[in-house]
Structure 1
Amino acid sequence: MALFIDTFINKIDKKGRISVPATFRAALANQAFQGIVAFPSFKYAAIQCAGMDWMQALTDRMTQVDLFSDEHDDLTATLFADAKQLPFDGEGRIMLPESLAAHAGITEAAAFVGRGSGFEIWEPAKLEAYKAEARRRALEKGRTLRQAPGGPGGGA
Structure 2
Amino acid sequence: MALFLSTFVNRVDKKGRVSVPATFRAALAAQSFSGIVCYRSFTNACIEGCGMDFMERLSDGAQSFDAFSAEQEDLSALIFADARQLPWDPEGRIVLPEDILAHAGIADQVSFVGKGQTFQIWEPEAYKAVEAEIRARALQSRPTLPLRPKVTP
Question: In structure 2, do the counterparts of structure 1 residues 150 and 38 end up closer, same or farther at CA, with 3 Å as the change threshold?
Answer: closer
SS in 1 for 2:63: helix
CA distance in 2, matches of 1:17, 1:145: 36
- Between Structure 1 and Structure 2, how many residues are aligned? 151
Q: Look up the equivalent residue of 2:29 and give its one-letter code.
A: A
Q: Look up the equivalent residue of 2:52 and give its one-letter code.
A: M
Identity %: 56
CA distance in 2, matches of 1:143, 1:21: 29
Provide the residue aligned with 1:97 in structure 2. 97
CA distance in 1, matches of 2:102, 2:143: 32
Return 5+ residue gaps in structure 1 as ranges: 152-156
Provide the residue aligned with 1:4 in structure 2. 4
CA distance in 1, matches of 2:118, 2:93: 18
Map 1:121-132 to 2 at 5 A: 121-132=121-132
SS in 1 for 2:5: coil
TM-score with structure 1 setting the length: 0.93
Q: Look up the equivalent residue of 2:56 and give its one-letter code.
A: Q
CA RMSD of aligned residues (A): 1.2
Do the aligned partners of 1:9 and 1:110 also contact (CA within 8 Å) in 2? yes
Deviation for aligned residue 1:115: 0.3
SS in 2 for 1:38: strand
CA distance in 1, matches of 2:51, 2:13: 23
Return 5+ residue gaps in structure 2 as ranges: none
Deviation for aligned residue 1:146: 2.4
Provide the residue aligned with 1:110 in structure 2. 110
Deviation for aligned residue 1:105: 0.2
CA distance in 2, matches of 1:55, 1:150: 26
Runs of 4+ in 1 over 3 A off after TM superposition: 147-151
Give per-residue Cα distances to partners, 1:66-121, cap 9 Å, x unaligned: 11111101111111111111000010000010010000000000000000001000
TM-score with structure 2 setting the length: 0.95
Provide the residue aligned with 2:24 in structure 1. 24
